[in-house]
Each structure stands twice: as C-alpha cells, then as structure tokens.
Amino acid sequence: MKLLDDLADDHLIIAEMLQQVVERGIITDEARTSLRSIKALMLFHLKKENDTFYPVLRRAARTDKELEKLLETNGRELEAIYAMAMRFFEKYSVGGNDKDFARDLGMLYAALRERILREERTLFKEYEKQVTESRPGRVGGP
C-alpha cells in the first residue's frame, strides 16, 4: 500500500538521519543542521499520519473497542515522544554540551526506534485490515 510504504520510508529516513547524528555524538553546526532537517521531516510525517493514516483507524475504532484502546495507548505514547523530541530540538538548536547531547540523543533515538517498530507491527497491520475490508467489490464486503 502506497501510504504505508511512504510512512515506512519516512521512518527509515528519520532513523538513518538520527543514527548519523548519534554516530558523531557531539553537537556541531553540522549536527544542528541535521537536527533541523530531522525535525522538519518528523513534523511533515506526523501531519501526513494525522491527515491520512489515523482517520481510517479512528473511524474503525468507533465500532472496535480493542482498536479504540490501542489508539488511545499509542496516542499517549506518541504525545510523550513528540514532547521529548520538541524539547530536544529546542534545547540543542542553539547549543548544549556534548555529554548531555549524546545522552539525550540516545534516549530520543531509542524511544523513536521503539515507537516506529510498534507502529509498523500493530497500527500498519490494522490499517491494512481496515482498508482491505472497506474496498468495494470485496467478497463479503460492502
């Protein structure tokens, strides 16, 4: 599915860009430039998810309490990671020391990596299920 492929590509790019900054481990002008690019990509990615991905899942959750609970849990987790990321980007856009930077970046990278894995394992599968079940002409479908 094109949307899921696009979202997975975004995940991969964000993870790779963060990994490159992690490998450097110090805050430099180049790292700050990379962080601004990562932040912009993350914000674009979140908008794409909110505009196209989550509406399908929220619609399905109206009649599926388990999915509703999954979305609530994932939503709280995403809000926490988003807040962590924005604090990180704000803090290191103007400076910071290398020791704190390496620690904070490692924590952000780990949180994002885990979030991406969970999203792709659970929510992507649920999205595929919802899109497949809502296709016209499907045997047993509308």
Q: What is the pLDDT of residues 20-64, one digit of tens each?
A: 888 876 778 888 889 999 999 999 999 999 999 999 999 999 999
**Average pLDDT of the segment spanning 92-101:** 83
When the pLDDT of each residue in the chain is averaged and rounded to a whole number, the result is: 90
**Average pLDDT of the segment spanning 7-27:** 89
Q: Reply yes or no on whether the pLDDT at 67 is more than 90.
A: yes
Angle between helices 2-24 and 98-118 (to 10 degrees): 160
Provide the pLDDT for residue 121: 96
Maximum C-alpha span of the chain: 60
Question: Buried (b) or exposed (e) across 98-115, using 16+ Cβ within 10 A?
Answer: eeebbebbeebbebbeeb
Would you mind telling me the total number of residues written for the chain in this entry? 142
Contact 115, 81 (CB under 8 A): yes
Residue 76 CA: distances (Å) to CA of 22, 36, 41, 71: 26, 24, 21, 9
Q: How far apart are CA 41 and CA 54, in angstroms?
A: 18
Contact 38, 109 (CB under 8 A): no
Q: Reply yes or no on whether the pLDDT at 102 is more than 80.
A: yes
Residue 38 CA: distances (Å) to CA of 58, 67, 87: 27, 30, 14
Q: Reply yes or no on whether the pLDDT at 112 is more than 80.
A: yes
Q: Where residue 135 falls among pLDDT bands split at 50, 70, 90?
A: low
Provide the pLDDT for residue 1: 82
This prediction's pTM = 0.84
Residue 98 CA: distances (Å) to CA of 13, 14, 34, 65, 108: 24, 21, 16, 46, 15
